[in-house]
A and B are shown apart, each in its own frame.
Chain A
Amino acid sequence: MTTLPYERLTYLENFGHSLRAASYLYKPTSAEQIGETFQFAKKNGLTVTLRGAGRSYNDAALNGGGIVMDIQDMNRILEWNPATGVIKAEPGVTLQKLWQHVLPDGWWPPVVSGTMYTTLGGCLGMNIHGKNNYKMGTIGEHVLEFTALLPTGAEVTCSPTHNGDLFYSIISGMGMLGVFTSVTMQMKKVHSGLLQVEAFPARNLHEHLNAIAESAPVNDYTVGWLDSTATGSGLGRGQLHTAKYLHEGEDPEPRKTMQVSYQTLPSTLFWVFPKSIIHYFMAPFMHNPGVWLINTAKYIASLRKGQYRQSHAAFHFLLDYVPNWEKAYGRDGLIQYQSFLPKETAEDAWREMLTLSHKRGMPSYLGVTKRHRPDKFLLSHAVDGFSLALDFKVTNKSRASMRAMLHDFDRIVLEAGGRFYFAKNSETTPETALRFLGKETVEKFKALKRRTDPHNLLESDLFRRVFGSL
């Protein structure tokens, strides 16, 4: 133990800058180096956590006192077939690199997150969804095949029909079963670089969820912004954005709109302010009255309905509009609480939660709603219903009371038959996880873990926190 690589020690944070852990950072560029790192970890009694872009809101990519294997340097696109839309890439390829590679040929990733900076490895480890979850499912549903290196040293090839149990568990397995070394995916054919977008308001939670439920079947994408500071009769009000792909011929200049340069988000606001500095101007407003003001203004602006065409990138990657926006939350950062609820119980549960957050003086600063459908993956967060993601500012003073509130939220969600997402919530307890996953799923996950990782080399802070005692 005397030869620990102190020179690799570094503090890594969660995306919200609200948690940090000291780790030995490795950046492998090949499967061989991943294997060597596993060997080193085993020899020195260390554990290994996988990290992509570090965009998880919790401790999924943190490993205090252990090794963090950052796979971002494994970022080659290995094969691309513009005729079939099948792409093979390494796990460090970001969604940005992916769409920029395929769009000029008339394809788009079938599922993307709200930011384009996530990596394929991270997206598959958490089995992300997009604003089209109810229609296209999770990203894992579009994987034709992947190869993964297990901590045992074995390299496995998995598809829905070959090694199916590993396929449906390594995807969604939080990087705890193996390391993706290549991913083969089917892209979605598009006939334009633009989407037909519609924006309209919802006056309260009931209207909000009804609007999502009604819009989803007739649109390719549906997403809601929820004014989480509104109270009383306006509780749960917000704005919906729906989008449809353009059919062949609807875009007179598809070649032009599918160029990467056409998709690029502007780098300045009002043509003068560099966007990279906007978060400094947001920071002074990041308190309850300031956010109420911003949300109210945004809601009033949203009362004007709109119909327009927007580029894919501009529609999808809302989180990338203001670079480093999360830094506006200040020194103690932010957390996100996302709950997934059946369509029958969602309204009552969220009404109770939003009311509780106002009563306790800790309103969320940003709310986002989506429509979902169940999937077949082992650690699934999906339900036939809706999700609500709530961002909260962390302050030193409110830590304990916010934790108590989130545990009350957990109780409400569990009673309403809801689920959670391991890329988001940071305070989920083992008991909560056991209850929403079910004993059978947890046992199956543990059995697979014993098989692929008999020495427990792959462990993250998230894994220890939630599954360590289960």
Chain B
Amino acid sequence: MPETKISAATPLQARRTAIVVGASSGIGAALTRKLAAEGYLVAAVARRAELLASLCNEINAAHGETRALPFIHDVTDYDSVPSTLQNILQTFGRLDLFVYNAGIQQHVKLDEFDFRKDRAMIETNLLGAMAWLNPVAAMFHHLRAGHIVGISSVAGDRGRIGAPAYNTSKAALSTYLESLRNRLTRRGVTVTTIKPGFVETDILRSAPKKNFFWLISPEQAAEGIWKAIQSRKQTAYVPAQWGLLMLVIRHIPSFIFRRLSF
């Protein structure tokens, strides 16, 4: 439960509201900062209480009022999602934007085949997303308004040699979001799939290989995502040049792709 008090919504103090799931670090934290700076009231949802508290404190201190509220929640605790969501709706009174950003990558060696790692990634990146997206989509469907943003990845565009489960989780998330888009557009709801390239986050820091290019900071990623939100994009690569690169990569024939080392 949030401890900080938010000022009541009035016609002259009407505020847009957002939920960011996976807000404690990386892209989620940067996006929470960005949305708060744009005037949103943000429910910052994450598992790590201390990180979340310091993020919210920092944001609220910077703006001199409460703009970010912490909600401690583990996305793999699927059953607690509806009550957390209801709690946020009651606190905010309305919901304009929902961002699912929670994601993990457990690196597997080329000769490593580990179901536990695969399962953990699917549980956080995909099942956690589904657990949130279902009640959020139900709400937006009936409210006939709202914007859903899923942070997928360029990694979901192909099944690569080094990250079978991570690629699968992001591919599945992208497909799931596409289905949601096709269901919800007719109800006035926008669904945006974000596919970031390399972003300086914990996932990258823990990667065994460091051969990254077009590397951007979480803040730059948040800027790109904010632009996509504003223009109500369906799919956005962040930064945009990844769109072109992935177009090429998606069309690399298998007999070549099998022999590539990335």
Binding site for B on A (CB under 8 A): 1-2, 4, 6-11, 14, 16, 18-22, 46, 58-59, 62, 64-66, 332-333, 335, 394, 399-400, 402-403, 406, 426-427, 461, 464-465, 468
State how many angstroms separate the Cβ of B9 from the closest Cβ of chain A.
Answer: 7
Indicate which residue in A1, A14, A402 contacts B83 across the interface (CB closer than 8 Å): A1
| Interchain nearest-CB distance for A63 vs B (Å) | 8
- B12 & A59 in contact (Cβ 8 Å cutoff): no
Is the Cβ of B143 less than 8 Å from the Cβ of A64?
no
Known: A4-B86, A22-B89. A11 touches B145 (CB 8 A): yes
Docked Cα-Cα span, A219 to B95, in Å, equals: 50
CB-based contact A2/B11 at 8 Å = no
What's the nearest-Cβ distance from chain B to residue A356, in Å? 16
Question: Which residues of chain B have C-beta atoms less than 8 A from A46's C-beta?
Answer: 90
Scoring B11, B12, B83, B90 by chain A CB atoms within 10 A of each residue's CB, the highest score goes to B11
Residues of A within 8 A of B141 (CB): 6
Whether B92 sits at the interface, judged by CB under 8 Å, is: yes
Interface residues of B in 110-161 (CB under 8 A from A): 135, 138-139, 141-145
Interface contact B11-A64, CB-CB below 8 Å:
no
Whether A6 pairs with B11 at a CB distance below 8 angstroms is no
> In the complex, are the beta carbons of B142 and A19 less than 8 A apart?
no
B13 at the interface (CB under 8 A from A): yes
Report the Cα distance A10→B144, complex, angstroms: 8
User: Which residues of chain B are within 8 angstroms of A426 by Cβ–Cβ distance?
Assistant: 10-12
- In the assembled complex, the Cα of A18 lies from the Cα of B8 at a distance in Å of 14
B82 touches A19 (CB 8 A): no
Q: Which residues of A contact B234 (CB under 8 A)?
A: none
Does B2 sit at the interface, judged by CB under 8 A?
Answer: no
Most chain-A CB neighbours within 10 Å: which of B82, B83, B90? B90
- Chain A residues within an 8 Å CB radius of B9: 19, 21, 59, 64, 461
Partner of B82, one of A1, A62, A64: A1
Output the nearest chain B residue to A64 by Cβ-Cβ distance: B93
Which residue on B lies nearest to A402, using beta carbons?
A: B12
Q: Do A59 and B10 have beta carbons less than 8 Å apart?
A: yes
Q: Which residues of A contact B12 (CB under 8 A)?
A: 335, 394, 399-400, 402-403, 406, 426-427
CB distance from B89 to the nearest CB of A (A): 4
Known A-B contacts A8-B142, A9-B139; A18 and B11 likewise in contact (beta carbons under 8 Å): yes
Task: With CB as the reference atom, state the residue of chain A lying closest to B88.
Answer: A65
